[in-house]
Amino acid sequence: MTRPIFVAANDQHVGKTTTTLALLTAFQRKGMNIGYCKPMGQEFVQIGDACVDKDAALFADIMPFDLEPELHSPVLTASGMTARYIERPSEFVDFAPAHRTRRARIAETPRIGHLRGHGTPWRG
């Protein structure tokens, strides 16, 4: 069974991407098959017809794996979304069921699963 690893912090720009890259590279060097998903992202790049989180694109290039936006970078958010959520949570979709489905799909093959979080508790 795949055991997911969730890298999170209580702030942005504190090394989550670097830490994640180091962990996954170490696992890969040990011969482990790894997976990656950034459930929610705020900074994105255009790849073909899709917008994907910049970190998901980076990891797809480095690890490598075929990037599927709906699996590896399913939700892109706008700046200020956390503050809006705190003020009016009823206006937001519950992403948890979809994230559980994606996590299960990533875990379908025997590998280390990784879900990378964000710098704020709500987004992670």
For the stretch 96-110, pLDDT in tens is 777 777 777 777 655
Which residues constitute the domain of residue 62? 4-116
* pTM exceeds 0.85: no
CA dihedral of 72, 79, 86, 10, whole degrees rounded to 10 = 70
In a domain, 86, yes or no: yes
Average pLDDT of the residues in 13-35 = 88
Looking at residue 120, its pLDDT comes to 47
Looking at residue 89, its pLDDT comes to 84
In a domain, 56, yes or no: yes
Percentage of the chain lying above the pLDDT 70 cut: 83
CA angle 42, 47, 51 (to 5 degrees): 30
In a domain, 13, yes or no: yes
- pLDDT at residue 82 is higher than 70: yes
CA dihedral of 15, 19, 22, 26, whole degrees rounded to 10 = 180
Q: Could you give the angle at which helices 16-29 and 54-62 cross, rounded to 10 degrees? A: 20
In the beta sheet, which residues pair with residue 117? none
Q: What is the rounded CA–CA span in Å between residue 33 and residue 17? A: 19
In a domain, 122, yes or no: no
| CATH number of domain containing 10 | 3.40.50.300
Average pLDDT of the residues in 58-64 = 86
Average pLDDT of the residues in 47-69 = 87
- pLDDT at residue 27 is higher than 50: yes
Number of domains in the chain: 1
In a domain, 9, yes or no: yes
